């Protein structure tokens, strides 16, 4: 076995010949002068041999490091004349046409960035972090190019913050597949309209049968306008949250009016009131039941909140509807202002809440995805620019498996 064949075998280089190699001391660089097998000159489109027109400038490609050595490829690609495709740069077997890194480097980069911070990935791949971020953006952009949303039937939408909570982006989910399909700068109607107009065809909009969002008028308005066949279901999580907030408002009012002596009973109640009955201990229930004597108004608000949990368990829509009607009447009789506001909201949206009984879709899946997104955000200690954040969202929870877009034979790191 010749040395160059040995290197080819060791580095698992396919369709490549090693002409010459050199170790460059200090920085630990392993330089390889390579060329395509059988003299190349293949058209990247049709893979047919073309007439060589000229040799282009010398170029360098970074490959994945091996045993601490950075690996660099040298080659002068040629411009060829293809009968069908005209003047083109010949096919480079180890990298995309204009990439500065090999396919294998790209695969490693995508894989590492899914698992760890970009800083960590940059260290493993022997490049500065800024270079890695730029490269990641280029690679993901190229691999996602031309990707279309497919078979979207159940959508969810939500907003996320970035740049230390100062800026917002809107995220659209495919809730059947638990994937992110779209991310856009900003929040509100304008952003969502952009999604429907740019990312979906009219046919695709007609295919959407279920939609899930919070109570914001922007989301509801956009869904009702763009998705004529969709049944809108308000997200359970947001409704529960609104009710919890109403109960908390009652607690705050009572706290403000209470004397020092009365406050003793009210201390530490906040999280207890939020708690779902299934998670309460006996001691928790005892404290809450004691409120009946301690503070009747908070007790009343809490009982209503607890009763409302039943709603989500109904199997028959008519029974759920009857329950809501009765619950609303009881809640209004409580004469608790924040609870009455919640009832108003509930009555306004009741036709968007009842379909939950038929199809229990919630943004819960989206909340799960949101958690992953938050992890990604925290891992990078907050993204400053949206494109960098979007790259990571698509890489970790996007609807396209990005590493799988790299040709199979290069998926080794
Ligand atoms: Zn061709």
Chain segment 303-351, per-residue pLDDT in tens: 999 999 999 888 888 999 999 999 999 999 988 999 999 999 999 999 9
pLDDT in tens, 35-64: 998 888 899 999 999 999 999 999 999 999
CA 73 – ligand 1 centroid, Å: 25
The answer to whether 15 touches 37, Cβ cutoff 8 Å, is: yes
Q: Does domain 154-235+362-401 bear CATH number 3.30.420.10?
A: yes
Q: How far is the CA of 37 from the centre of ligand 1 (A)?
A: 18
Q: Tell me the backbone φ, ψ of residue 18, rounded to 5 degrees.
A: -95, 120
Give residue 34 CA to ligand 1 midpoint distance, Å: 23
pLDDT computed for residue 51 by the predictor: 92
8-state DSSP, 311 = G
Q: What percent of the chain has pLDDT over 90?
A: 58
**Residue 90 Cα to ligand 1 middle (Å):** 9
- Span from the CA of 88 to the centroid of ligand 1 (angstroms): 8
pLDDT band at 159 (very low <50, low <70, confident <90, very high): confident
Instruction: Specify the DSSP class assigned to residue 86.
Output: E
Would you list the domain boundaries of the chain?
A: 1-99, 154-235+362-401, 237-357
Between the two ends of the chain, the Cα-to-Cα distance in Å is 24
Q: How far is the CA of 91 from the centre of ligand 1 (A)?
A: 10
Please tell me the distance between residue 405's alpha carbon and the centre of ligand 1 in angstroms.
22
Q: Please report how many Cα atoms fall inside a 13 Å half-sphere around the Cα of residue 403, on the Cβ side.
A: 19
- 287 CA → ligand 1 middle, Å: 78
Q: Per-residue DSSP letters for 150-197? A: ----EEEEEEEEETTTTEEEEEEEETTTTEEEEEEES-SHHHHHHHHH
CB < 8 Å & 24+ apart, contacts of 254-262? 254/295, 254/297, 254/298, 258/295, 262/294, 262/295
Which range among 21-35, 193-207, 257-271, 312-326 shows the weakest confidence by mean pLDDT? 257-271
The model's pTM is 0.83
Across the chain, what does the average pLDDT equal?
A: 89
Q: Measure 49 CA to ligand 1 centroid, in angstroms.
A: 8
Ligand 1 centroid, distance to 43 Cα (angstroms) = 5
Q: How confident is the model at residue 30 (pLDDT cuts 50, 70, 90)?
A: very high
Considering only 3-7, 61-65, 273-277, 369-373, which range has the smallest mean pLDDT?
Answer: 369-373
Query: What sign does the dihedral 318-319-325-328 (CA atoms) show?
Result: negative
Question: Tens of pLDDT along 347-402?
Answer: 999 999 988 888 776 666 767 777 888 878 777 776 778 888 899 999 998 999 99
Task: Please compute the mean of the pLDDT values over residues 105-118 and round it to a whole number.
Answer: 94
Kindly tell me if the per-residue pLDDT of 84 is higher than 70: yes
Q: How far is the CA of 139 from the centre of ligand 1 (A)?
A: 24
What pLDDT shows up at residue 362? 66
Mode of pairing for the β-strands spanning 210-213 and 231-234: parallel
Count of CA atoms in the C-beta half-sphere (13 A) of 49: 6
Residues 6+ apart with CB under 8 A from 74: 31, 32, 33, 34, 58, 59, 60
Give me ligand 1 centre to Cα 38, in Å.
17
Q: Looking at the predicted structure, is the pLDDT value of residue 102 above 70? A: yes
Report the pLDDT value the prediction gives residue 106, as an integer from 0 to 100.
96
Residues 6+ apart with CB under 8 A from 183: 169, 170, 171, 172, 386, 390, 393, 394
Cα separation, 353 vs 233, in Å, equals: 6
């Amino acid at each position: 076995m010749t040395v160059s064949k040995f290197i080819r075998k060791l580095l698992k280089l396919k369709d490549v010949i090693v002409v010459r190699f050199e170790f460059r001391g200090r920085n630990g660089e392993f330089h390889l002068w390579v060329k395509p097998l059988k003299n190349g000159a293949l058209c990247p489109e049709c893979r047919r041999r073309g007439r060589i027109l000229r040799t282009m400038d010398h170029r360098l490609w970074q490959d994945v490091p091996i045993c601490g050595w950075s690996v660099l490829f040298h080659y002068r690609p040629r411009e060829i004349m293809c009968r069908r495709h005209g003047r083109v740069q010949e096919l480079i077997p180890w990298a995309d046409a204009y990439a500065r890194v090999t396919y294998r480097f790209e695969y490693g980069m995508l894989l590492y960035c899914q698992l760890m911070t970009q800083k960590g990935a940059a260290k493993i791949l022997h490049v500065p972090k800024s270079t890695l971020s730029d490269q990641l953006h280029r690679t993901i952009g190229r691999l996602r190019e031309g990707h279309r949303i497919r078979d979207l039937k159940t959508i969810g939408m939500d907003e996320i913050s970035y740049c230390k909570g100062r800026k917002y982006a809107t995220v659209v989910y495919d809730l059947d597949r638990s994937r992110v399909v779209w991310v856009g700068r900003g929040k509100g109607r304008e952003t969502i309209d952009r999604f429907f107009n740019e990312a979906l065809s009219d046919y695709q909009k007609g295919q959407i049968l279920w939609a899930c969002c919070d109570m914001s008028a922007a989301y509801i308005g956009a869904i009702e306008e763009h998705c004529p066949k969709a049944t809108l279901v308000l997200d359970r999580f947001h409704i529960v949250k609104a009710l919890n907030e109403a109960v908390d408002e009652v607690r705050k009012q009572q706290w403000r009016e209470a004397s020092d002596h009365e406050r003793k009973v009210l201390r530490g109640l906040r999280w207890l009131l939020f708690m779902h009955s299934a998670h309460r201990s006996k001691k928790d229930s005892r404290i809450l039941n004691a409120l009946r004597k301690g503070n009747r108004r908070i007790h009343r608000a809490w009982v209503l909140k607890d009763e409302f949990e039943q709603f989500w368990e109904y199997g028959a829509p008519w029974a759920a509807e009857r329950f809501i009607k009765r619950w609303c009447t009881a809640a209004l009789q409580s004469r608790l202002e924040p609870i009455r506001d919640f009832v108003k909201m509930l009555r306004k949206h009741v036709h968007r809440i009842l379909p939950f009984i038929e199809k229990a879709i919630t943004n819960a899946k989206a909340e799960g995805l949101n958690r992953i997104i938050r992890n990604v955000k925290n891992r990078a200690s907050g993204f400053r620019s949206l494109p960098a954040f979007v790259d990571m969202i698509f890489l970790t929870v996007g609807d396209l498996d990005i590493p799988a877009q790299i040709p199979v034979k290069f998926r080794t790191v």
